[in-house]
Amino acid sequence: MRQGHSVLRRFQVVMASSQLLFYLNAKDDYPNVVRALIRTLHRNREVQYIVLSNIASLITIEHRNLFEPYLRSFFIFSTDSLQVKLLKLEILSSLITETSSSVILREFQYYVNSFDEEFVTATIQAIGRCASIVPQISDVCLGGLLRLMSRPKEKIMGECVIVLRKLLQMKTTDHKEIITHIAQLADTMTIPTALASILWLLGEFSHRVPKIAPDILRKMAKSFTQQETIVKFQIINLAAKLCIVNPRQTLILTQYIFNLAKYDTNYDIRDKARFLRGLLFPQIITNPTLISDDSSSPGVHKNALKSNTTNNNISSNTFLSKNIRKICLATKPAPVIKSQFEGRSNFRLGTLSHILQHCLSGYQELTDWPTIPPDPWSRVIATPLQSTATSNDSESSEMNSPKSSVLHVKHRIDEKKKDQTEDDDDDEEEEEEEENEKEMDGLIDERQEENKKAKLSGVCGDETLLSPQTPWTNNNNNNNNNNNNNNNNNNNNNNNN
């Protein structure tokens, strides 16, 4: 039994049985499956990574309540590998609730002090996921991220800006101080994604910082040609939004940025600038005479600028230009911070394709449950038929062969019918034998009574009348008597001679 228990506790057996019970939807056995999976986490790193990846996929498939009692089993140790740390962060952020938020955030506060920048940035992303799952702790998360932005490490600072942008987009309250603090980082930020997030925040909440946004746009226009593509996109968007909200200060600056984008090497930048130019300045597109003849100086004709500045708004005759404010300044939906393991649920648990997030050769999908229930007899395995007393050895060997153990349903039913008929025949033969035995017992009783009567009357008869023998034994006695008579006759003849 000890060897059997050691086999059952092996990692391969636990994973295979867990997959089977999960796909069979055996909900009563789920607690045992979870305990077995948690127990295997105390193995080597390779086993930990495989088990944690499967647990992360199970949590995203609405089984998080099963793992909530084992929250502390996913706390990170300094000896864990980076891959295991990232998986545990994903699981902890997925298991967070309003009651367990204090424990998890306290644990994250310890993780952000690590020397591994990649692990710290992953922890910051996990904090953002926690704030999106539990909105009640978003203010606490915002305060913690602002304190992290004071660190000199630019990579950590940039990740904080990205997460703050998502959290501010989900918040409906005014956070002017946070936006002002983030805008001050635009001059020194060199990470493209973080700088793009800052520009997006200024364009989205430009009405809250009307004095800061135009100055940031002026600085970005100077370095437009040296910026990355993702930053150029946000500079163009910021220019278009400020031109709608505050055309008096940003109209000429917007035209300058659009002319720079017109000759950019990236065709997406050129298309973006051309599209927004048609919405903001339709009169220049429809009337080419308003465009400056001097190609060396990026700008527009003075008459066009004068007409636009005097009106303090952008006149338009087209439908899109009339609705330019609704198009560019529409309320954006709050971002949904998804788990990076949601895509893994498309693959079968425990497979190599699930671990690598890529369909490999030889991978087989599980078939869907049938809409029409199949015949229940199709799951019954026929047992070998037992040989009867009158069957030959060859027949019994055929019935006990492996082929007879896997029979078709109809063939099995026919065999059952044959067995029933044979059993009926056997019953009839047994009844006939019982009747014959009863008749023989009656004859024996009659013969015994006759012998008793002969003894009482003193009549000497054959020995066959005195012995209760069967008809078969009577014939043998008659033969013996005849032989004795013949022997007596022979003796008499010898004496005469």
Q: pLDDT tens digits for 454-469?
A: 666 654 444 443 444 4
- pLDDT above 80 for 38: yes
How far apart, in Å, are the Cα atoms of 333 and each of 92, 253, 391? 26, 29, 81
pLDDT band with cut points at 50, 70 and 90 for residue 210:
confident
Average pLDDT, rounded, for the chain: 75
How much is the pLDDT for 399?
A: 47
How far apart, in Å, are the Cα atoms of 67 and each of 37, 94, 322? 10, 10, 54
For 276-289, the DSSP string reads HHHHH-HHHHH-GG
Residue 301: closest CA among 244, 259, 358, 239: 259
- pLDDT above 50 for 427: yes
More confident residue, 116 or 469: 116
How much is the pLDDT for 452?
A: 72
- pLDDT above 90 for 396: no
Residue 58: closest CA among 11, 86, 91, 93: 91
- pLDDT above 90 for 12: no
More confident residue, 376 or 266: 266
* One-letter amino acid for residue 421 of the chain: T
Going 63 to 68 to 74 to 75, the CA torsion angle's sign is: positive
How far apart, in Å, are the Cα atoms of 488 and each of 451, 460, 481, 482, 495? 27, 20, 11, 10, 11
In contact, 242 and 214? CB cutoff 8 Å: yes
Distance CA 40, CA 44 (A): 9
- pLDDT above 70 for 395: no
Distance CA 197, CA 42 (A): 41
More confident residue, 443 or 137: 137
pLDDT band with cut points at 50, 70 and 90 for residue 290:
very low
DSSP 63: I
More confident residue, 42 or 270: 270
More confident residue, 188 or 324: 188
pLDDT, average across residues 320-325: 72
The model carries a pTM of 0.63
pLDDT, average across residues 366-382: 79
The secondary element (H helix, E strand) that includes residue 16 is helix 11-23
Distance CA 249, CA 312 (A): 10
What does the domain layout of the chain look like in residue ranges?
174-340, 377-450
pLDDT band with cut points at 50, 70 and 90 for residue 253:
very high
pLDDT band with cut points at 50, 70 and 90 for residue 407:
very low
Q: pLDDT tens digits for 174-186?
A: 678 888 888 888 8
How far apart, in Å, are the Cα atoms of 81 and each of 44, 117, 180, 344, 480? 11, 14, 38, 21, 105
More confident residue, 143 or 290: 143
More confident residue, 42 or 383: 42
pLDDT, average across residues 407-420: 58
In contact, 41 and 11? CB cutoff 8 Å: no
Most confident region among 210-224, 377-391, 448-462 by mean pLDDT: 210-224
User: Which residues, listed in sequence order, are joined to residue 291 by a DSSP beta bridge?
Assistant: 300
Q: pLDDT tens digits for 384-393?
A: 654 444 445 5
- pLDDT above 70 for 413: no
For 29-57, the DSSP string reads GHHHHHHHHHHGGGS-HHHHHHHHHHHHH
Query: For the chain, what percent of residues have pLDDT higher than 70?
Result: 66
